[in-house]
Amino acid sequence: MAEHVAKLRIDKWLWQARFFKTRSLAAKQVSGGQVRVNGNKVVKPAFAVAPGDVLTFSQSSMVRVVRIEALGERRGPAPEAQTLYSDLTEKQDKKLKNPRFEGKGRPTKKERRVIDLSRRL
C-alpha cells in the first residue's frame, strides 16, 4: 500500500508562506506561467505541492528560489511563515540605487537672473 504524502495547492501555500498578499495574486502568478516546481513550469493554481519541492518564481524585481519544508495550517505571522521554507535564492551584492540628481531641471532663482540678463543683451 502506498504511503500517503500530505499535499497542498500551490497558490494556497504561496499565500500562507506570505510571498503574496492575497491568494488570488498567487493564483494569477501561477496561471501566468511564472512559477516552476522542480524545474517544470506550472500553470494551474490547483497543482499540489509537498515538502521537498523546489519553487522558482519572480517576486517584485528578483527571482526567488525556495524549498518547501512544511505545509502550513493557516496564514500566520511572518516568523511562523518563514518556517515553511528554506530560501535558496542567491544573494545579490549589487543593490539598485536611486538615480542621482544631475543638476538638470528647473533653474534656481540665481540662474534665472543670469538667463534674463543674457537675453536683454
> Does a structural domain hold residue 31?
yes
Helices (H) and strands (E) in the chain, counts: 4, 7
Outline where 49-92 has alpha helix (H). 78-81
Residues 94-103 pLDDT 10s: 666 666 666 6
Q: Is pLDDT above 80 for 28? A: yes
- Residues facing 54 on adjacent strands: 67
**What pTM did the predictor assign?**
0.73
Order of strands, sheet of 54-59, starting from the edge strand that comes earlier in the sequence = 40-42, 35-37, 54-59, 62-68, 85-87
Neighbouring C-alpha atoms within 13 Å toward the C-beta of 38: 8
pLDDT of residue 47: 95
Distance between CA 48 and CA 30 in Å, rounded?
12
- Quote the domain boundaries for residue 50: 8-91
> Does a structural domain hold residue 23?
yes
Please give the average per-residue pLDDT across 41-60, as a whole number.
93
Distance between CA 92 and CA 64 in Å, rounded?
11
Please give the average per-residue pLDDT across 63-72, as a whole number.
94
> Does a structural domain hold residue 42?
yes
Q: Is pLDDT above 70 for 31? A: yes
pLDDT of residue 94: 61
- Quick one: what percent of the chain has pLDDT higher than 90? 64
Tally of structural domains, the chain: 1
> Does a structural domain hold residue 49?
yes
> Does a structural domain hold residue 115?
no
CA-nearest of 11, 8, 12, 109 to 51 is 8
